Homo-oligomer: A and B are copies of this chain.
């Protein structure tokens, strides 16, 4: 459902006067990525944007861990952890493999560690 957006759509309340840069609006509009990609990027960040899940990822960054280890590390109940692991699995951010009664989780993608590293850098600069 990709919308071709031009300046005179009429479906939005826009400046009556010529705004600031009507030409720029056109350029920027046509340079926008397709809706599907925007949606997926937002989804990725949404998954990373949760306290519990960030903690899980920080933990998995150090070591492959089973659910029950994570439960202990995070100090929360097993169901909550499993639910969040599912979100991370669905987003292809973590991977799981079975070993006996346990299921071992690890980071799936190198981009993720890099994203978290960059994010941490950003907040640390802000605090400095």
Contact = CB atoms under 8 A, between A and B. Distances in A.
Given A9-B75, A12-B77, A68-B20, A46 B44 contact: no
A68 B3 CA distance: 19
Interface in A99-128: 99, 102, 104, 109, 111-112, 114-116, 118-127
A78 interface: yes
Contact of A77 (B3, B13, B33, B40): B13
Given A19-B66, A66-B20, A122-B112, A54 B77 contact: no
Interface residues of A, number: 74
Contact of A20 (B3, B58, B102): B102
Nearest to A114: B118
Contacts of A83: none
